[in-house]
A and B are shown apart, each in its own frame.
Chain A
Amino acid sequence: GAVVSQHPSWVICKSGTSVKIECRSLDFQATTMFWYRQFPKQSLMLMATSNEGSKATYEQGVEKDKFLINHASLTLSTLTVTSAHPEDSSFYICSPGGWETQETQYFGPGTRLLVL
C-alpha cells in the first residue's frame, strides 16, 4: 500500500502557540489531501480538503484562519494550528488522494496534539 508519513507524531505546546504538522505521501502523487481530526471516543471528522496548488475547502464549523492548510506540492501538505488552545488537543490525521487511491484511502499515522 501507499506510504504516508506525518511529522511530528506527537507534540505538546503552550496555549497561544502555533503548531505545524507535515504530511508526506512518499510513493505516489497526492493531488488531494484530506485532513481529519479525531477526539476521544469519536469517529474521524473531516476538517478540510485541499487540492495541490489551490486553496483548501473547509468543512462547516472548521475555522480556516485557525487551521491553515498548505498543499504546495504533490508530496507534501501541511496543517498549521494557529494560536492553539486546549480545546484543539486532538489526534490529527492526513489522508492523501489521487487517482491511485480511488478505491482505497490511505492514512498517515497521525499526530497527537496536546495544548497545555
Chain B
Amino acid sequence: NAGVMQNPRHLVRRRGQEARLRCSPMKGHSHVYWYRQLPEEGLKFMVYLQKENIIDESGMPKERFSAEFPKEGPSILRIQQVVRGDSAAYFCASARTATDTQYFGPGTRLTVL
C-alpha cells in the first residue's frame, strides 16, 4: 500500500539546464496535482492532471514549465532552462476522484546553482 512516490528527492541543476520531476500516484488514483513551495512561502497550486489530460494548468508559469501524466508511467513536471528562482520544493499529490482527499508525496527539493 505504497503512498505517493516522488523522485528524485533532491535535484541540483545549473542555470539553463532542464529539471524533470517524477510523481507516481497511489494505486487506484488517477488525479494528480503539482504544488510548489518557494523558500519561506506557502504552497501554491501549479497544475492538475487526470490520466493523459491536463485539467487545470492555471497555476503554472506559461514559459519553461510543462506537465504530463501519460497512460503508463509517472506524471512528469518538466522545467526547461532553469533559473535560480525555480529553486523550491515541488510536491505532488494524488486522489482517487476529484473530490477525495489528496495524499501528498515527500516532495522534490530543486536547487538551481
Partners in one complex: no
| Chain B contacts to A: CB under 8 angstroms | none
| Chain A contacts to B: CB under 8 angstroms | none
